[in-house]
A and B are shown apart, each in its own frame.
Chain A
Amino acid sequence: MKFPPFEFHRPGDLPEAVDLLLSYDGEALPLAGGQSLLPMMAFRLVAPKALIDLSAIPGLDGIELNGDSLRLGALVRWCDVLCSPVIANAHPLLVEAVRHVAHYQVRNRGTLGGSLAHADAAAEFPAICLVSDAMIDVVGRDGKRCIAARDFLLGAMETDLREGELVAAVRFPIWPAGRLWHFREFARRSGDFALAGVAMYCDPDRQAGVCRNWHIACFGLGEVAQRVDAVEAFLEAKPADTAHIREAVLIAQRHLVADGDIHAPAGYRKALATELLGRGLNEVFKAVAGGDG
């Protein structure tokens, strides 16, 4: 359980980090919080020739609320998210999701950029990016580019990042007042990878007793977090009642893709995801009716 040999660099800015990554011809890996990478190295599942430690690069840990977005630097840690009054208002769904990330030791070091680049199927943060239509700012050889979360997350531990590219920041659209949201996941023990989870939000029209602009993502059940567009479309402006929840769950069952592993078969994961979806919708609909969103 000891690391294989590797070289170590701690660049002072992003261009230098990119150059270092490129100089290893794909055999170097960036190090952010190290909460996934370092255990994988200890297990010798990965053996990079070099680690490019990003911790000395200034400006990557910013939490900024601009006119139209919440911008989070790639080195923002989970614990930063949890204690940020800005994020508490600007993205309460994100805060709730981060509460479910691993254990507090991991939350003290793990970064959201690292989580996104690692792209574990059961990770909360990629699902929040996906459900929120977040934009990922990446930096590489040819400068910056912005990638929509939907295009960034390609599969299990697979992203659109090209060789030498680094996640620099994630931008979330502004969160309007009154938005209803829900997050829940189910793991065997507190802190474990979720067997399935669901994140959702919508904007209520209280006078009409309906919600619009549904955003729903399920994660942990397949290779990558999944938006359930069909359910979103179905629920648009539908009255908040149990019949519509049942119908939404049935639609989700038809659209979600699940995989099995040693912890749970695909059938269970799908059933779990739809169960959680139903429970989440129930909570959101209660909030619409109760007006306490």
Chain B
Amino acid sequence: MTKANTYVGSSMPRVEDQRLLTGKGEFIDDVQLPGMLNAAVFRSSMAHAIVRRIDTSEARALPGVVAVLSAADLPRPIPRIPIRIAPIEGAERFLQPVIAEGCVRYVGEPLAIVLAESQELAEDALDRIEVDFEPLDPVSGIGDARRNATLLHPEAGTNLVADYQVTRGDPAMADDAALYRRTESFRIQRHTAVPMETRGLVAQWDAGQGRLTVRGAAKVPFFIRNHLARMLGLAQEMVELIELDVGGGFGVRGEFYPEDFLVPFASRAVGRPVKWIEDRREHFMATAHSREMECSLEIACTSEGRIIALRGEIAADLGAYVSPTGPIVPSRAAQFLAGPYHVPVLDLHVVAALSSRTPVGSYRGPGRFEAAFFRERLMDMAARDLGIAPDEFRRMNLIAASDLPYSIGQLVPYEGPASYDTGDYRAVFDRCLEDFGWAERRKLDGREVAGRLHGLGLACVIDSSGAGPGEHACLYLQQDGNVRVHVGSSALGQGIETTFTQIVADELGLHPERIRICHGSTSLLDEGHGSFHSRSLIMGGNAIVVAARALRDAIRNAAAARFGCTGDEIRLQDGRACKAEGQSTAFADLAPLEGRGSFGGAEKPFGYGTHVAHVAVDVGTGHVEIVDYLAVEDAGRIVNPAIVRGQKIGAIVQGLGGALLEHLVYDDEAQLRTASLADYMLPTAADFPQLDAVTLALAPTPRNPLGVKGAGEDAIAGPGAAVANAVAAALSRYGVEPKELPLDPPRIWALLAAAAARACR
């Protein structure tokens, strides 16, 4: 046996950090290739219009401009961007062409790509492209979309991508006239991830070998590789996608966007390497948006507060096209609407509609943030109506440990039934309240202190993780005694080089410095499925466990042959294979050896937890201060506590951004009004100094060998709900009930003004 785990479970410093903190990371804009051109994308300034003509002649005539490519220069049919996850039936009617042809459907849609000798020249050329638009009425929001008066894709005959019902339990149960019930409508604003580093690509066509190399991949390099090869008519092995360091992904980076075709296509067209770096303004219109959703929801419970049913409708705005991940947003909102509570009857109508806005895609915790806000707000209103404390109401309705695993039924149309796995939801809930000092702080609820009203708010969340196909890993023991690990997961800043190293170190009894994690290229493995849905540790990590155990057996067998014993008698320690009587040999002497492994196909694990927010509201200005915030969650098993804590805190801050600050604003003409970091408000270091996250390893999941649950996303689900509940509690004397985010100062002011008007009537 190997010695007991020493690395897994420890906060080993991140192996990535030496490189990154000393400026030795390589990001896409660091790449310089001989003869490289810069690209700039010409984007639609109209939300919805017929494109009568594009005149690029003046742009082409500018010295230093090498080419300007528009739809006319692409092969027919213009390739369309495929759906990657959440394949809703009929969604394929609304796929985005890689370049607009004949019609534009949102501000920012690519119409042409300029290649020039410098970025400045490329941007100068953009100003010289002229388009003759025939304006059409924009579809400016969910309501507009559902009326179907203006159709974005007339051939489909509707703006609705999805229109379905999910149910569980006996609906008749919910009709009992004796039940308390309340119906409310909620809304989440359009907002998105906004990673610090925008997207970027460097494509390099090697005409001699007929081979294409694309740097700047992230998230799902193999998926992009496969579809790009198909669109370009190339064999998969002639296309290599390479990952570099990235400044954040959060779900939006690394999906298939128009530029993922246009930049490689342009490189092949002109026979020179091409770099494209998305600028911040185009990022806001070109990279996926998310979260925009309306919900009308009825809660039915017994007079004691036991929830019987949640029924209603979720309607999401998916933007102008169905992106590779678009339908995941409303479908997961529906799936997670009941959260970690025992809700016998669930009956939800799900609508996804198209509007003249940037396509919507997955953003960290897609649907979970929204679902938690809708549910937890309504629960607080119900608890208040029933005279039950919000903590009591939740404790009573949380699924009991003894009821796990808990079947949630089939709540998405493209997957079978699911079940929550392990945990103790009430224990984590109680721990959170205790650590936060809920009972003592609760005395401040609704009280004025130094001119501001204080309030506490709760939210309980649950999240699946580890979706998609299985992952693959190969471990190679090299002649120098080091182990090289090839894995199909991709790095988005979540520290997988470190956590994977810890896993291998423990499995092989090898010092971390002797382990190198290689995930950067589609040439390292036959296939891989990347990093999304908090799956890297679950899929990649467990594939590595399987592969490491195979390599361990190979090392043992090789050593056993040398020592004339059986493999069982060999122990691996400090990079040596040891026989009991003190005979040992270095791994290097046994090289080369390899181990391969895959993991996948199992049911998903479900992480869960409780969030509590303490806010102070300045009634005069509408400012909401986060006085304190705590999340306690259960990740099943933790490989690196420091990394997990960083993920959780980062997710909370990002969620607080969605709760209080961030909003992609469109006007009535479907023009995006927030196209800079001055207008789109991200949380900064000064905004939320007081918060913490505690992650427990309480209930390992039996659904993977490591026992881990995803840790990257679930914590973003809580803040919208917890903060809104805290604001409601703070302003309870006015009867203010926030039903819409963000809770920015003007909204607080408007809520108070409406409350004052009610009081006067």
Name A residues whose Cβ lies closer than 8 Å to a Cβ of B: 1-5, 43-44, 186, 188-193, 195, 262-265, 267-268, 271-272, 275-276, 279
Interface contact A279-B681, CB-CB below 8 Å:
no
- CB of B622 within 8 A of CB of A5, answer no
Q: A2-B119, A4-B127 are in contact. Are A268 and B745 (CB under 8 A)?
A: yes
Q: Decide: A188 and B744 in contact? CB cutoff 8 A.
A: yes
Closest to B279 in A: A1
Contacts of B120 in A (CB 8 A): 2-5
Residues of chain A contacted by B435 (CB below 8 angstroms): none
Chain A residues, CB < 8 A from B681 = 188-189, 192
For B431, the chain A residues whose CB sits under 8 A away are none
Tell me whether B686 and A262 are in contact (CB under 8 A). Answer: no
Q: Which residue of A lies closest to B685 (CB)?
A: A190
* A272/B621 contact (C-beta < 8 A), A263-B679, A265-B746 known: yes
- Contact call A268/B622, Cβ cutoff below 8 A: yes
- B687, A189: Cβ atoms closer than 8 Å: yes
For the A-B complex with A189-B686, A190-B687, A192-B681 known, give 15 more contacts whose Cβ atoms are closer than 8 Å: A2-B120, A2-B123, A44-B127, A186-B621, A188-B681, A188-B745, A189-B687, A190-B684, A191-B684, A262-B673, A263-B679, A264-B745, A264-B746, A272-B749, A275-B621
Q: Which of B88-133 contact A (CB under 8 A)?
A: 119-120, 123-124, 127
Query: Does B620 touch A at the CB level, under 8 Å?
Result: yes
Q: Which residues of A contact B678 (CB under 8 A)?
A: 192-193
CB distance from A262 to the nearest CB of B (A): 5
Provide the residues of chain B in CB contact with A267, threshold 8 Å: 753
**Closest residue of B by beta carbon distance from A5:** B124
Chain A: which residue is nearest B282 at the CB level?
A: A1
Please state if A188 and B661 are interface contacts (CB–CB under 8 Å): yes
Within 8 A of A (CB), among B562-579: none
B281 at the interface (CB under 8 A from A): yes
Contact of B280 among A1, A192, A262 (CB under 8 A): A1
> Is B623 engaged at the interface, CB distance under 8 Å to the other chain?
yes
5 tightest A-B CB contacts, nearest first: A1-B279, A275-B620, A268-B746, A2-B120, A264-B746
The answer to whether B479 has its CB under 8 Å from any CB of chain A is: no
- The chain B residues found within 8 Å of chain A, CB to CB, are 119-120, 123-124, 127, 279-281, 620-623, 661, 665, 673-674, 676, 678-679, 681, 684, 686-687, 744-746, 749-750, 753
Which of chain A's residues have a CB closer than 8 A to the CB of B620? 272, 275, 279
Contact A4 B746 (CB under 8 A): no
A263 to B676, CA, bound (A): 13
Q: What are 15 contact pairs spanning A and B, CB under 8 A?
A: A1-B279, A2-B120, A3-B120, A5-B120, A44-B123, A186-B745, A188-B661, A189-B661, A190-B686, A193-B678, A264-B745, A265-B746, A268-B622, A272-B622, A275-B620
Q: Chain B: interface secondary structure?
A: loop
Name the one of A193, A271, A279 contacting B749, with C-beta atoms under 8 angstroms. Answer: A271
Q: Which A residues touch B745, using CB under 8 A? A: 186, 188, 195, 264, 268, 272
Please give the distance in Å from A135's CB to the nearest CB on chain B. Answer: 31
Residue of A186, A263, A279 ringed by the most chain B CB atoms within 10 A: A263
Closest beta carbon of chain A to B660's beta carbon, Å: 9
Q: Are B679 and A262 in contact (CB-based, < 8 A)?
A: yes
CA distance A4 to B679 in the complex (A): 23
Which among B123, B127, B679, B750 is the interface contact of A268 at CB below 8 angstroms?
B750
**Set of chain B residues within 8 Å of A272, measured between Cβ atoms:** 620-622, 745, 749
Select from chain A the residue with minimum beta-carbon distance to B451: A279
Q: Verify A43–B661 contact, CB threshold 8 A.
A: no
Distance in angstroms from A49 CB to nearest chain B CB is: 14
A43 to B749 alpha-carbon distance, docked (Å): 33
How far in angstroms is the closest Cβ of chain A from B194? 14
Inter-chain contacts of B621 with A (CB < 8 A): 186, 272, 275-276
| Cα(A188)–Cα(B749), bound, Å | 13
Q: Complex Cα distance A262/B676, Å?
A: 13
- Closest residue to B198 on the A side, CB-wise? A1
- A2 CB contacts on chain B under 8 angstroms: 119-120, 123
A276 surroundings in chain B (CB, below 8 A): 621
Nearest-Cβ distance from residue A181 to partner chain B, whole angstroms:
21
Q: How far is the CB of B63 from chain A (nearest CB, A)?
A: 11
Tell me the smallest distance from the CB of A239 to a CB of chain B, in Å: 24
Closest A residue to B675 using CB positions:
A43
In the complex, chain A residues whose CB is within 8 Å of the CB of B665: 262
Name the residue of chain B whose CB is nearest to the CB of A3: B120
- Which residues of chain B have C-beta atoms less than 8 A from A189's C-beta? 661, 681, 684, 686-687
Across the interface, which residues of B come within 8 angstroms of A5, CB to CB?
Answer: 120, 124
Q: Given that A2-B119, A271-B749 are known contacts, is A186 also in contact with B623, CB under 8 Å in the complex? A: yes
Contacts of B661 in A (CB 8 A): 188-189
In angstroms, how far is the closest chain A Cβ from the Cβ of B744? 7
With A1-B281, A192-B681, A268-B746 as contacts: A262 and B674 at CB distance below 8 Å: yes
**B123 contacts which chain A residues (CB < 8 A)?**
1-2, 4, 44
Cα(A53)–Cα(B124), bound, Å: 23
| Alpha-carbon distance A5/B622, docked complex (angstroms) | 44
B120 closest partner in A (C-beta): A2
User: Which of B124, B281, B621, B673 has its CB near the most chain A CB atoms (within 10 A)?
Assistant: B621
B683 CB → nearest A CB, Å: 8
Q: Which of B119, B687, B746, B749 has the most chain A CB atoms inside 10 A of its CB?
A: B746
Q: Kindly provide the distance from the CB of A56 to the nearest chain B CB, expressed in whole angstroms.
A: 25
Residues of A within 8 A of B676 (CB): 43
Residues of B within 8 A of A275 (CB): 620-621
Q: How far is the CB of A190 from chain B (nearest CB, A)?
A: 5
Please tell me if the beta carbons of A268 and B749 are within 8 angstroms of each other in the complex: yes
Give the residue name and chain of the B residue nearest to A193 (CB): B678
Query: What CA separation (Å) do A279 and B621 show in the bound complex?
Result: 11
A265 to B622, CA, bound (A): 13
Distance between Cα atoms of A263 and B124 in the complex (Å): 31
| Chain B neighbourhood of A262, CB < 8 A | 665, 673-674, 679
B124 x A43 contact (CB < 8 A)? no
Chain B residue with Cβ nearest A271: B749
Min CB–CB distance B671 → chain A (angstroms): 11
Complex Cα–Cα for A237 and B750 (A):
36
Separation in Å of the B412 CB from the closest CB of chain A?
35
Q: Check A4–B686 contact: CB distance below 8 A.
A: no
For the complex, give the distance between the alpha carbons of A188 and B662 in Å: 11
Name the distance in Å between B114's Cβ and chain A's nearest Cβ: 12
Whole-angstrom distance between the Cβ of A265 and the nearest chain B Cβ: 6
Cβ of A4 and Cβ of B674 under 8 Å apart? Answer: no
CB of B371 to closest CB in A, whole Å: 27
Instruction: Give the shortest distance, in Å, between A191 (CB) and chain B (any CB).
Output: 8
C-alpha gap A251/B159 in the complex (Å) = 51
Q: How far is the CB of A222 from chain B (nearest CB, A)?
A: 16
CB-CB nearest in chain B for A190: B686
Chain B residues whose CB sits within 8 angstroms of the CB of A43 once the complex forms: 281, 676
Contact partners of B686 in chain A: CB under 8 A: 189-190
Q: Taking the nearest CB of chain A, how far is it from the CB of B476, in angstroms? A: 43
Q: How far, in angstroms, from A30 to B674 measured CA to CA in the complex?
A: 28
CA gap between A272 and B622 in the complex, in Å: 9
| Chain B residues within an 8 Å CB radius of A279 | 620
- Chain A contacts for B280, CB-based, 8 A: 1
A279–B279 Cα gap in the complex (Å)? 42
* A263 proximity list for chain B (CB < 8 A): 679, 746
Please measure, in the bound complex, the distance between the C-alpha atom of A271 and the C-alpha atom of B678, giving whole angstroms. Answer: 23
Q: What is the distance, in angstroms, from B658's C-beta to the closest C-beta of chain A?
A: 14
- Docked Cα-Cα span, A192 to B687, in Å, equals 12
Closest to A196 in B: B621
List B contacts of A193 (CB < 8 A): 678
**CB nearest to A184 among chain B residues:** B621
Cα A110 to Cα B182 in complex, Å, equals: 55
Name the residue of chain A whose CB is nearest to the CB of B744: A188
Q: How far is the CA of A24 from the CA of B612 in the complex (A)?
A: 61
A44 vs B753: C-alpha distance when bound (angstroms)? 40
Task: Report how far A3 CA is from B745 CA in the complex, Å.
Answer: 35
Q: Chain B residues near A265 (CB, 8 Å)?
A: 746
For the complex, give the distance between the alpha carbons of A5 and B62 in Å.
13
Most buried by B among A2, A43, A44: A2
